[in-house]
Structure 1
Amino acid sequence: MSTYHLAIIVGSNRRESTNRQLAEAIAKLLPGHIEVSYPQIDDLPLYNLDLESERPASVNRFTDEIRAADAVLIVTPEHNRSLPAVLKNALDWGSKPMDKNVWFDKPVAMTGASPGAMGAALAQQHLRQIMGILGSVVLGGEAYLQFRPGLITENGEIGEDSHQFVKSYMDRFVSLIEKLVQR
């Protein structure tokens, strides 16, 4: 069985981010042939076309990591009914220049948690629209989670109430990766 590289982008720059906890718990659900990395996005300067001629090292590091990944999982909170600025900035850097768009034809799935009952649904709706425009192959379906006690166990795993839902979503994503990524 082939090994695949999944980049998990956490759309938050908070040290104790609940979505980082969620991302790490999700990684524990993945089969052994999926290798995971967590590209850093909080050190990227704000996107500016003036920087394109001499891209900062952090931008090159980020785009190289995404380009090398077979697929991307984005785990994001919701800020003001949309995605966080730090995440949108990373998406913008990865999309430029257009002929080097790292998102094009990349399998992408998204999830996220928030304290509210809608569980980052609107952030993911915006993210789905953006990733589609950038040419990603976006996994259909929804994976909105309310961050409440028990979502993540003390052992850093998905709790019993959400385990099967998240596992099924990730199994579908792994299946999509296996179908789309050519070796």
Structure 2
Amino acid sequence: MTYRIATIIGSLRKDSINRRVADALIRLAPEDFEFFDVSIGDLPLYNQDDDANQADTVRRLKADVASADGVFFVTPEYNRSVPGALKNALDHGSRPYGDNSWSGIPAGVVGVSIGGTGTAIAQQHLRSVLAFFDMPIFGQPEAFIHWQDDMVGNDGVFHDRSRDFFQGWMNGFAAFVRKNAVNKA
């Protein structure tokens, strides 16, 4: 049995530190977990007028999320909230009314920033939206990560100082998904 996890990175930046942390975390996942990227940078801005005729990219997002056993969100913090691209993807996935692709799918939330509080406020905003979507949310340990230049090496793995914390987070997330996955018999 393999658990398919949709990975959504809130940063669209090519050299995103959130992408680096996500990739390093994925390397710590158990063998029965398969992660796949869900692109959000190509989505049109959400407009309710388009609900009856959603763009192909929106239908792809919704299908990817619906096929997942869990969703792994990794987000930076922009102006004390989530990036607009991530909020846009969340809105698209929840529409039209009554067709919420996110509902019931277990979620994990991580974020990294150069700021001292990491992504605490962005994650709280994101968790509020996910709770409204009726997504079970992995709660502990929280991962409000303050970026350090040597956190992830050139080899793509965490530095020894942080590896145990991140391994514990991934182990907890995996157990949470196994317990809450709705797509598994």
**TM-score normalised by the chain length of structure 2:** 0.95
- Residue number in structure 2 paired with 1:86: 85
Distance 1:86 1:160 in 2: 33
Question: Which segment drifts farther, 37-46 or 163-172?
Answer: 163-172
Specify the code of the residue in structure 2 equivalent to 1:171. Answer: N
Distance 2:97 2:31 in 1: 34
- Please give the residue correspondences for 1:1-183 in structure 2 after superposition, counting only pairs within 5 Å: 2-141=1-140, 142-181=142-181, 182-183=184-185
How many pairs align?
A: 182
CA shift, 1:6, in A, is 0.5
CA shift, 1:177, in A, is 1.0
**TM-score normalised by the chain length of structure 1:** 0.97
Distance 1:111 1:180 in 2: 18
Distance 2:36 2:169 in 1: 19
Distance 2:97 2:127 in 1: 19
Distance 1:166 1:117 in 2: 18
- Matched position secondary structure for 1:81: coil
Specify the code of the residue in structure 1 equivalent to 2:57. Answer: S
CA shift, 1:98, in A, is 3.1
Specify the code of the residue in structure 1 equivalent to 2:22. Answer: A
- Matched position secondary structure for 2:98: helix
Alignment gaps of 5+ in structure 1: none
Distance 1:152 1:98 in 2: 41
- Matched position secondary structure for 2:164: helix
Distance 1:97 1:166 in 2: 36
Distance 1:179 1:40 in 2: 26
* Matched-pair contact (CA < 8 Å) for 2:48–2:96: no
Alignment gaps of 5+ in structure 2: none
State the percentage of identical aligned residues. Answer: 37
Q: Root-mean-square deviation (CA), in Å?
A: 0.9
Question: Which segment drifts farther, 94-103 or 43-52?
Answer: 94-103
CA shift, 1:99, in A, is 2.1
* Matched-pair contact (CA < 8 Å) for 2:136–2:180: no
- Matched position secondary structure for 2:80: coil
Distance 1:155 1:98 in 2: 44
Distance 2:159 2:123 in 1: 22
Distance 1:41 1:74 in 2: 12
Distance 1:158 1:72 in 2: 22
Distance 1:159 1:130 in 2: 32
